[in-house]
Amino acid sequence: MSNWFNEKILLGMNCREYISKHATLLNFMALIILCFSFYAMAYRLIYGLGPATNLSDTYPWGFWISFDILAGIALAAPGLTVGTVVYLFGAKDYKHFARPAILSSLLGYIFAVFALMFDLGRYYRVFYVIGWSWGLNSILFLIAWHFFLYIIICLIEWFPAFFEWLGIEKAKNFFSKLGIWATVFGVIIAGGHQSALGGLFLVAPTKIHPLWYSALLPLFFLVSALFAGISMVIIESTISHKVFRDQLKTFDRADFDNKTLGLAKALVIILFVYLILKVLDLTHYNNWHYLKSEYGYWYLLEVVGFVLAPALVLINSVKNKKVKLVRFTTFWVVTGVILNRFNVSLIAYNWYIPLQEKYYPTWMEIALSLGVVTLIVLFYRFIVRRMSILS
């Protein structure tokens, strides 16, 4: 048993070796973040949402929903984008982007739900929505079910790597065969709930600033999740190819750069689809006059500064084959998506309220979320080192 443990979990080292090898500055920082985060979690569980957060009756949803759920799930879309491209459209060239993409989706969703537990007043009742009481007309109901199903789907997609690691051939083959079906349903389900996250705010037509409120909110969320997903694939592959270089036996730099440029092309197209939709939306609601206000400038910053500008830079860098610039720009795009989620759910929400009465998070809300991000990174690293995800 202990042999198995050393071999599989500790990468063939014994406990002492393992710990000393991991006593790095980065790990130490991760540990500190986790301490603050766990403190915040405990505090929230013991004292309740009131003392731990700045939530109020006016702002029932705060940082956790905006960051962990809305932004987090959009960034966890790689599984959706790459899964589709590779398994459904048969783009085999991109195959080795698939496993890491699915893993990050899996972790992204599991930890989003984990973080959500702290936001729910009665977290221990969350299973009510699955098997006890159905609010069939609620968009939140749709999301809850889709999350539930999507996590199962990601698990199925990840199991081949998992059972390979455990050395259980039979289970591995079984899940490999299921994989394609899981992807098919995964695309449907992921598309459904990415848009449903935007749909959540359809019920607040009087509360969200007209520049952000639109019947197209679900479509905006879906399309921006697509470009967030592709950007995340580029970001992740960049980082993991740097960090886990030793695991890649056959790494072809030129080929990798080419694939990245290929993804960047797709990214540009989707960014422009989004921009066109945005302009149509402005025209349809005849909202142009709002642009000349403080909220209008903020809106322009989001759309021009974080969608149009990176799109133009991407066109240029694809043309000139500047892969580094592509990689940088994807960070820019992802920041834009996060900004958008905050805008819809917090900044444009209750926009008529004076600035000093608006919500801002407590340090505990931020610490808890940072800790969750850290956990995702740690788990990702843990799994990538042990299972054949990258190769």
Partner 1 sequence: MNRREFFKRSLTIAGSLLIARNSNASDQPLSVYSTQNKANKKNWEKFEELKKTNSQIDESYAVLVDITKCIGCRRCEWACNEWNKNPNRPVKEFEASKDEKPSVFDRVRRTHAGEFTVVNRFHSKNKPVYVKKQCMHCAEAACLNACFVDAFKKTPQGAVLYNPSLCVGCRYCMIACPFDIPAYEYYNALTPQITKCTMCFDRVTDGKVPACVESCTSDALIFGKRSEMLKLAYNTINKNPERYINHVYGEHEAGGTNWLYISQIPFEKLGFPELDKTPIPAHSKSFLFTVKVLEVVAAAPLVWGAYYMISKNRSKKEGKKDE
Closest approach of Cβ 197 to partner 1, in Å? Answer: 12
**Helix (H), strand (E), coil (C) string for 140-162:** HHHHHHHHHHHHHHHHHHHHHHH
Cα separation, 257 vs 205, whole angstroms: 45
Closest approach of Cβ 11 to partner 1, in Å? Answer: 33
Q: Nearer Cβ to partner 1, position 181 or 297? A: 181
Q: Nearer Cβ to partner 1, position 187 or 261? A: 187
Q: Nearer Cβ to partner 1, position 252 or 357? A: 357
Structure tokens at 141: 């109901």
Closest approach of Cβ 33 to partner 1, in Å? Answer: 16
Q: Are 80 and 105 in contact (CB under 8 A)?
A: yes
- Amino acid (one-letter) located at 25: L
Closest approach of Cβ 55 to partner 1, in Å? Answer: 6
Q: Nearer Cβ to partner 1, position 146 or 278? A: 146
Structure tokens at 379: 């788990």
Closest approach of Cβ 291 to partner 1, in Å? Answer: 22
The length of the chain in residues reads 391
Q: Nearer Cβ to partner 1, position 140 or 291? A: 140
Place of tokens 């973040």: 33
Structure tokens at 34: 């986790």
Closest approach of Cβ 51 to partner 1, in Å? Answer: 4
Q: Nearer Cβ to partner 1, position 11 or 88? A: 88
Q: DSSP state, 349? A: B
Q: Are 367 and 91 in contact (CB under 8 A)?
A: no
Structure tokens at 196: 């449903």
Q: Nearer Cβ to partner 1, position 13 or 204? A: 204
* Contact set with partner 1 (CB under 8 A): 39, 43-51, 53, 55-58, 60-61, 87-88, 90, 119-123, 125-126, 128-129, 132-142, 144, 177, 180-181, 183-185, 187-189, 191-192, 195-196, 199-207, 215, 218
Place of tokens 């972790």: 107
Closest approach of Cβ 83 to partner 1, in Å? Answer: 11
Long-range contacts of 379-384 (CB under 8 A, 24+ apart): 379/107, 379/111, 380/103, 380/104, 380/107, 381/243, 383/103, 384/100, 384/103, 384/240, 384/244, 384/247
